[in-house]
């Protein structure tokens, strides 16, 4: 980000409902030009609906959305919903099944300069490692391959803003990391503002300038993903990044109030010779670089990480890594 941030999107107290039950409730925030924003939260929290509202696919019940001080309006005001300076990638991909991969990606590119169009399509397909499928019809692709094609199709005309709804959900894990790096590097190079709705904390921690945490249609917190992760306001916020323990603070820190509780990620625990937190090992899960150890303390499950596997039913003591 530059020191002189240019405001692009301004969401002002918006609310929306499909029926009588509100889906988005009094949401407000701003997004600056060129930022990568990750919207995270449990399924049904309103992430996808929020993207659709920003794109102008629905009419707001209350509030306003502005792009560079110009209002974004819904289908009541626009014959064709959607904003020309934005591109929106839905979860259903919306590819033309009987057109080839190249035809799908180049669908909205001008035919006036055929060679330039061909090079642009090739460049985009190389980004998602789909160039070898250039002449294959979309209907013959797997779900993950279709998702990769749909992703670069919305980038073809280099929009000012791109809205991505779970863009990596069907892509193989071994390919996902490289694809994410390529995509977010490209967006930064081009200065394209990206808002991504995702359930994957990696999207927020690794690539987002800011994260927006949602629950029940409301924004709980907006800020630096690292700070949200390191100092979560609630157990719900912490749980979006993986396993988390809620432990009585006096078991970990002497002289603390017995009613106070502390959120502790598994990697923040370590085995110690003695403590106020004796636990018994119930299960172990191999995670490649470490084991996730499931233990129990007075019927409460507590997870911690260990470099080695540990015997079941063994009793140990846990303490904090940073004390």
Two tokens at 129?
A: 């490692």
Cβ atoms of 9 and 193 within 8 Å: the answer is yes
**Is residue 289 classed exposed, middle or buried when 0-12, 13-18 and 19+ CB atoms within 10 A define those classes?**
exposed
Can you list the domains of the chain with their CATH numbers? 7-237 (3.40.50.300), 245-320 (2.40.50.140)
Two tokens at 113?
A: 């300069």
pLDDT of residue 3: 41
pLDDT of residue 1: 41
pLDDT < 70 stretches in the chain: 1-5, 323
pLDDT of residue 2: 41
State pTM to two decimals: 0.90
Cα distance between residue 319 and residue 323, in whole Å: 8
pLDDT in tens, 19-61: 989 999 999 999 999 999 999 999 999 999 999 999 999 999 9
């Amino acid at each position: 980000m530059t020191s002189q941030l240019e405001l692009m999107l301004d969401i002002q107290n918006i609310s929306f409902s499909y029926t009588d039950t509100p889906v988005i409730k009094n949401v407000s925030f701003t997004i600056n030009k060129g930022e990568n924003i990750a919207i995270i939260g449990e399924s049904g929290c309103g992430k996808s609906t929020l993207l659709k509202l920003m794109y102008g696919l629905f009419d707001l019940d209350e509030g306003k959305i502005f792009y560079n001080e110009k209002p974004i309006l819904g289908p009541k005001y626009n014959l064709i919903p959607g904003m020309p300076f934005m591109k929106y990638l839905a979860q259903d991909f919306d590819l033309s099944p009987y057109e080839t991969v190249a035809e799908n990606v180049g669908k909205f590119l001008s035919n006036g300069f055929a060679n330039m169009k061909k090079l642009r399509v090739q460049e985009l397909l190389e980004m998602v490692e789909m160039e070898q499928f250039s002449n294959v019809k979309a209907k013959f692709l797997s779900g993950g391959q279709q998702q990769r094609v749909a992703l670069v199709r919305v980038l073809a005309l280099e929009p000012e803003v791109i809205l991505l709804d779970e863009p990596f959900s069907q892509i193989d894990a071994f390919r996902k990391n490289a694809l994410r790096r390529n995509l977010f590097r490209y967006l930064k190079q081009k200065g394209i503002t990206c808002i991504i709705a995702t359930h994957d904390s990696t999207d927020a921690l690794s690539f987002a300038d800011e994260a927006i945490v949602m629950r029940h249609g409301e924004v709980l917190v907006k800020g630096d993903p690292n700070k949200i992760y390191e100092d979560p306001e609630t157990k719900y916020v912490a749980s979006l990044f993986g396993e988390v323990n809620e432990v009585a603070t006096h078991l970990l820190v002497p002289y603390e109030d017995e009613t106070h509780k502390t959120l502790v990620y598994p990697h923040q625990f370590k085995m110690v010779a003695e403590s106020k937190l004796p636990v018994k090992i119930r299960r172990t899960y191999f995670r490649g670089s470490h084991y996730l150890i499931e233990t129990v303390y007075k019927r409460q499950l507590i997870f911690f990480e260990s470099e080695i596997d540990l015997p079941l039913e063994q009793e140990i003591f846990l303490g904090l890594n940073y004390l």
